[in-house]
């Protein structure tokens, strides 16, 4: 399965206590400390993602447009708070308008972001020097 499909699947699953839907499925809550041991540390046939670290997981979230929402904890209602298996300070919340509970068809709209490779600083300086010494068009 793709990263997003697998993420959606484990978020919907009751097998995992470290990740769940919040606010009627509009965004995801993750207890990252628990997530590392419960999900990322799995090996062999039980492995969930081909990722080894929470940093790599963050990179994949960002690549697929799931952005952290730092102010969400203030808007949780008491039912969401009671359902959370960890204190709020250990939680992170992520949102993408196409990543919602009960709407797996929206996942097709989530395309991985593709960016230009950054040039090394030395290459950028060389380009600037070449531009100065060899002006185009006379």
Arithmetic mean of pLDDT, 71-90: 56
pLDDT in tens, 51-69: 989 999 999 999 999 999 9
CA dist 13 and 16 (Å) reads 6
Higher pLDDT, 53 or 89: 53
Q: How far is CA 57 from CA 50, 88, 121, 126, 130, in A?
A: 9, 20, 27, 35, 40
pLDDT in tens, 90-138: 799 999 999 999 999 999 888 777 765 555 555 555 455 544 544 444 4
Domains present along the chain, CATH in parentheses: 3-133 (1.10.10.10)
CA dist 110 and 7 (Å) reads 12
Q: What is the pLDDT of residue 125?
A: 54
- What does residue 49 show for φ and ψ, rounded to 5 degrees? -120, 155
Residue 42 Rama label (left phi>0; alpha psi -120 to 50; beta): beta
pTM for the whole thing? Answer: 0.70
Arithmetic mean of pLDDT, 79-87: 53
CA dist 72 and 6 (Å) reads 24
Q: What is the pLDDT of residue 23?
A: 79
């Amino acid at each position: 399965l793709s990263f997003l499909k697998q993420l959606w699947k484990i978020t919907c699953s009751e097998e995992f206590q470290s990740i769940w839907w919040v606010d009627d499925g509009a965004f995801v809550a993750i207890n990252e400390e628990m997530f590392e041991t419960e999900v990322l540390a799995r090996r062999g046939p039980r492995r969930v993602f081909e990722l080894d670290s929470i940093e790599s997981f963050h990179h994949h979230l960002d690549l697929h447009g799931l952005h952290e929402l730092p102010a969400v904890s203030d808007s949780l209602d008491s039912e969401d708070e009671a359902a959370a298996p960890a204190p709020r300070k250990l939680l992170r919340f992520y949102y993408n308008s196409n990543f919602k509970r009960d709407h797996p068809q929206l996942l097709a709209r989530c395309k991985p972001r593709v960016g230009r490779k950054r040039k090394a600083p030395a290459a950028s300086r060389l380009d600037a020097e070449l531009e100065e010494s060899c002006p185009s068009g006379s």
